[in-house]
Amino acid sequence: MDIWIRFNNILRKVLFIIFFTDIFSRNRGNRVGLIIYAGLLVLVIINDYLRYKHLYKSSRTVFYASIIVSITIGSVLKFSVGGNITIYLFMILVDIAFLKDVKALKYLYTINALAIIFVPLFRFAWLDGISILQVILESPRDFLMMVILVLFSSASLFSYRALLIEKNRVEKLNKEIEKLTISKERNRVAQEIHDNIGHNLIALNMNLDVLSNMVDSENEIKEIVVKCQSLTKDSMENLRRAVYALKDESVFEDFNKSLEELRQNIAHNSNINIEYHIDSKIDQYSPEYKSLLYTTIKESITNSIKHGKARGVKVNIEVKDKIYTTIEDDGLGCDEIVKGNGLKGIEERVNKINGQIQFISEKDKGFRTIIALPI
């Protein structure tokens, strides 16, 4: 594509040089005409440059007005000077053929095609002092050839346009299929890990509990069993996080839906009540932010259930000058907050994107996490 763009730019420059040469050769004895027509061609070049480099980012009305200006000036030059300037009108036809707005494409294409066909006829009629109908009757073959040339060029351009549209559609479909395939594979792997390793770790932990009850509390074996239990629980927690990380790739597409699924998943394993108040503006922000918030909410709810014995959790996300998030439970609370791996992980992720985080808790007054992320 880059090679085609470079080639197109070089070809345009060569054609404009030819147009300048044509204007100069046809107006050697007409200095005023030479200045006017050369000025119009310069105006066309500036208009085209602005359209390609800047106006395509502006409103459609301005962009389409620029095309109409090019058609108008090109028609004036063809009528006044004649010669090879007709090629410029075909150049505009190429630009019009790739417009996304089908309605605008139809109108601009019709205007440009009529200019290509009829402006030369008006020029011949004006020079010979006869009507356009007489020009057509005197040279029906030339008129027919011009119509066929326009139709053939249009057919080629629109066929290429259709091919590009289909190519883009297929590429988009392939990306969606690839994404879906990867997502399914991730879910399959996550389920395999959960069903096999996860269940084995649970069974191991249960056996260690039984062994712990059978061993004397002052026995050295008891200490080893306790350490093994601790390692098993840590492994189960890390496994749970890995499974979530594999499954939750789609969390960034619909944040509210993902939070609702999280609530339903937690509801199957506990009686905790979770309330969400999520600002809809959050969906405008990057997947990184939504991933951080989702992970933080999930980790906080897990801590509320595991350590706080909470019955309810309230999650509030509000977008103002910053993204403010508050996660509050009605659990046991504590007078002194000891940051385990979960809280440290949340803190590290927030600090990584220059956010602020605060943990607040009192005995029998629950636990609150307050986060402010920069916009």
Domain-embedded: residue 85:
yes
Domain-embedded: residue 240:
no
Question: What is the arithmetic mean of pLDDT over 305-318?
Answer: 88
**High-pLDDT (> 90) share of the chain, %:** 7
Domain-embedded: residue 331:
yes
What per-residue confidence (pLDDT) applies to 194?
67
- Residue 259 and residue 132 in one domain: no
Q: Could you tell me the pLDDT band of residue 244, with boundaries at 50, 70 and 90?
A: low
H/E segment holding residue 371: strand 367-374
Domain-embedded: residue 129:
yes
| Domain around 109 | 2-138
Nearest to 361 by CA among 339, 340, 341, 332: 332
Q: How many domains does the chain have?
A: 2
Higher pLDDT, 324 or 52: 324
The model carries a pTM of 0.49
Task: Output the average pLDDT for the chain.
Answer: 82
List own/partner pairs for 161-168 with CB under 8 A and 24 or more apart.
161/97, 161/98, 164/98
Round to whole Å and give the CA distance between 318 and 316. Answer: 7
Domain-embedded: residue 72:
yes
Question: What is the arithmetic mean of pLDDT over 301-327?
Answer: 88
Q: Which of the 8 DSSP states describes residue 85? A: G
The domain boundary residue, chosen from 138, 169, 184: 138
Question: What is the arithmetic mean of pLDDT over 203-209?
Answer: 77
Domain-embedded: residue 265:
yes
The domain boundary residue, chosen from 114, 138, 162: 138
The domain boundary residue, chosen from 123, 138, 153: 138
Return the top range by mean pLDDT from 13-17, 69-73, 138-142: 69-73
**pLDDT one-digit tens code per residue, 67-120:** 898 899 888 888 888 878 888 888 888 888 888 888 888 888 889 888 888 888
Domain-embedded: residue 14:
yes
**High-pLDDT (> 70) share of the chain, %:** 91
Distance between first and last Cα of the chain: 36
What per-residue confidence (pLDDT) applies to 326?
93
Domain-embedded: residue 208:
no
* pLDDT of 353 over the 80 cut: yes
Helices 86-97 and 2-26: crossing angle, nearest 10°?
A: 150
What per-residue confidence (pLDDT) applies to 370?
93
What per-residue confidence (pLDDT) applies to 327?
93
- Residue 7 and residue 133 in one domain: yes
User: Domain of 303: which CATH number?
Assistant: 3.30.565.10
